A = this chain, B = another copy of it.
Amino acid sequence: MKKIAVLGYGVVGTGLIELIEKNKSKDEEAEIHVETILVKHKEKHLKKKLSDKITDSFEEVFSKDWDILVEVIGGINPAYQYVKKALSLGKHVVTANKDLIAEYGDELFQLAKDNRVSLKFEASVAGGIPIIKPLTESLSGNEIRSVKGIINGTTNFILSKMYEEGVEYEEALREAQVLGFAEANPDSDVLGYDAARKLAILSTLAFKKRVFWKDIDVEGITSIDSKDFAYAKRANCKIKLLSYSKKEENKVFASVKPVLIDSESDFYRVNNEVNSVIVSGDAVGELVFKGSGAGMLPTASAVYGDIIDLALNKNSIVINSFSEDKFNIESNLKEKVQSLIRIHTDNKENLIKELNGRFLTAEFIDIFDNEIGLLVDGYTEGEIEEGLILLKELSYVNNVKRILKVS
C-alpha cells in the first residue's frame, strides 16, 4: 500500500481519483491511499469525492505522511517549487506536466538521482498513449533515429475541422474553444510551443542528450487558410501540425510545423483530438502509437500507471539525458523533400514559364485567381528557399508561401 499526496483537483486530478476509487481492492499489493489533495480554492471542491482530504495549505500537505507526490496542477509555478521540494525530501514524484519537464528536466532529474527517487512523467506527452515507457524501457537496445508525432490535440482538432468543414482558422478555433478543445488564450497550442515542449521531451529521451524546446524551429497553424486545404485536397493530403526530430551522427534536426500529410501516411487518419507518435529505431524499425492524447481519463490512465509502477517498487530507470549537453538543433532537413508552393501573381502565364525553368518536377494546381500552386519534389528545403527568394524578386510575384509535404 502506498500513500500519495495529490496536487491539483482539476480535470486530470478528478479522473485520477476516479481511477483510484474504481481500482480499490483489485490488488492489495498495489493499493493506493490518497492522503491529501492540495487545491487553490477549497470551496470549489467540497462536493467532490474525498472532499475530507482537501486542503489549500501547501504546508499541511508536506506535514503529512505519504510516499509519492502526484503533481497534476500544470504550468511552471507553483508546480516547480512543490516538485523540487518533494524530490529534495526523498519522495517519488509523478507528474503530467510537460512544461515542467521540458523547462526544468535537467535540474529535476538530477535532483531525483541525487535523492535516489523516481520522477515519472508518462502523461506529459501524448496523454494516454504509453510512449515514455516504451521509449525509455522497451526500446533500450535501439539507437533511435527519428521521432515524429501529432502531439497537440488542439491544433489537430482545428485542422480537422478546417479540412472537414472548409471553414477558416478563426471559425475552427472558436468551435474548438466552445467544445473545450482550445483554451481562451490558445497561443501555446496554436503557435506550436506546446508541441515543441513535447517533442523536446521525446527527442531528449530518444537521442540521449538534451534537446531544449526553445531551440526547436516552431511554426504555428495561425496562417493556414482554406486555400491551403483546397490545394491539399487536390494533392490527396490533409494538413497536420507535425513535430519531427531526427538524429544523424551527432546532429539533430527538429521542427514543429504544419505539413501536408499524404493519404498513405499513418498520420492521415489521426483526426481531431487523437495523437500519434512514430518512433524509428535501428533494431525495431518503425513503431506507430496512436490514441487519446488528452482528456480526463486517458491522462489519468497514464498517471495511474506511473503510480502503480512506484507502488510495486518498479522504480524508473535513472534519466540522465536531460542533464547532458544540449544538442545544436538544425531546422532544415538536408534531404530531398516534397513541398507545396503557393505564389500570388498578376501574371500566371509568365510565372508558369519561369517555374517550369526553375523546378524540373513541378506539378501545377491552378484553382484560384491570381495565384498558382505547385508541388515540387526532389529538392532540399534549402534549395527551395533559395529558389523562392529569387522568385520573390520578379515584378509579377506578390507573395510566396511554402508547406512541406510528408508521405
B314-A301 in contact (CB<8A): no
Contact of A130 among B138, B283, B290, B297 (CB under 8 A): B138
Residues of B close to A133: CB separation below 8 A: 130, 133-134, 137-138
A308 B140 Cβ-Cβ under 8 A: yes
What is the oligomeric copy number?
2
A302 to B134, CA, bound (A): 10
Give, as a whole number of angstroms, the nearest-CB distance from A346 to chain B: 42
| Cβ B128 vs Cβ A305 within 8 A | no
Tell whether, in the assembled complex, residue A287 and residue B283 are in contact, meaning their CB atoms are under 8 Å apart. no
Residues of B within 8 A of A291 (CB): 284-288
* Chain A to chain B: the 4 pairs with minimum beta-carbon distance, closest first: A141-B304, A130-B138, A288-B290, A128-B284
* Of A141, A302, A312, most B-chain CB atoms within 10 Å: A141
Rounded to whole angstroms, the CA-CA distance of A128 and B134 in the bound complex is: 11
Q: Label chain A's interface by main secondary structure.
A: mixed
**Whole-angstrom distance between the alpha carbons of A65 and B264 in the complex?**
51
- The residue from B269, B283, B284, B312 contacting A264, defined by CB atoms under 8 A apart: B269
When each residue 128-151 of chain A gets 1 if its CB lies under 8 Å from chain B and 0 otherwise, what string results?
111001100111111000000000
Contact among B134, B140, B305 for A30, CB-based, below 8 A: B140
Q: Please give, as numbers and ranges, the residues of chain B lying within 8 Å of A323 by CB-CB distance.
A: none
Which residues of B have CB within 8 Å of A269?
264, 266
In the complex, 15 of the A-B residue pairs with CB atoms within 8 angstroms, ordered by the A residue number, are A22-B141, A122-B138, A129-B287, A133-B133, A133-B134, A137-B308, A137-B309, A138-B302, A138-B305, A140-B304, A141-B300, A141-B308, A276-B288, A281-B301, A288-B290
Which residue numbers of A lie inside 8 Å of B, CB to CB? 15, 19, 22-23, 30, 122, 128-130, 133-134, 137-142, 264, 266, 269, 276, 281-292, 295, 297-298, 300-302, 304-305, 308-309, 312, 314-315, 317
Note all chain B residues with C-beta closer than 8 A to A138: 122, 130, 133, 301-302, 305
Closest to A135 in B: B130
